Amino acid sequence: MKEAKTKKKVFEHQFSHIDESGAARMVDVSAKSETKRVAVARGEIELGPKIAAAVAAQSVEKGDVLGVARVAGIMAAKNASRIIPLSHPLFLSACEVNFELDSSSSRLTAICRVVANGLTGVEMEALCGVSGALLTVYDMCKAIDKAMVIGPIRLLEKSGGKSGLWQYKEAK
């Protein structure tokens, strides 16, 4: 078996998910303090009038769009570490997904709030929750019209940990 060659430092700046040789790594969070972590993410899907009316009337052929999308969002949040390669698997204390349908603009908004007591934040879990919910809406409604548009998706706020509270601020 050949001896591994010593790798030289590739990056002058140290990135948290890249080691000195440039290889990907999961960040070591073992020295962090466990705190309550909360994150809220929001995303939208442009449905079009026909789909918006069907969702509002609960008449989509595949069933209860928002009920299924809510469960899908929660499942996506719980499985974020399976989707995001270098994120940490977390034990979630709470996760909720809610929807707001604006029939006048034919837009559906999904909001995912995630809570955990842990060593690292739950931003990725909240973002995965919103994404999973919106993708499920698309899947359940695509037989009506495939021209739906998902986005924007954004983190609205996060709290806990060393950096404390952060809130999204609209550009002025």
Residue of 19, 102, 139, 145 marked active site? 139
Considering only CA atoms, which of 55, 57, 76 is closest in space to residue 66?
55
Report the DSSP pairing between strands 107-118 and 166-167. Answer: unpaired
Active site residue 102: no
- Cα–Cα distance for residue pair 45/149, rounded to 1 Å: 5
Beta strands in 81-167 (DSSP E): 94-102, 107-118, 149-159, 166-167
Neighbours of 166 (CB within 10 A): 15
Asked if 48 and 149 touch (Cβ cutoff 8 Å), the reply is no
Can you tell me whether residue 71 is helix, strand or coil?
Answer: helix
The residues that are catalytic are 139
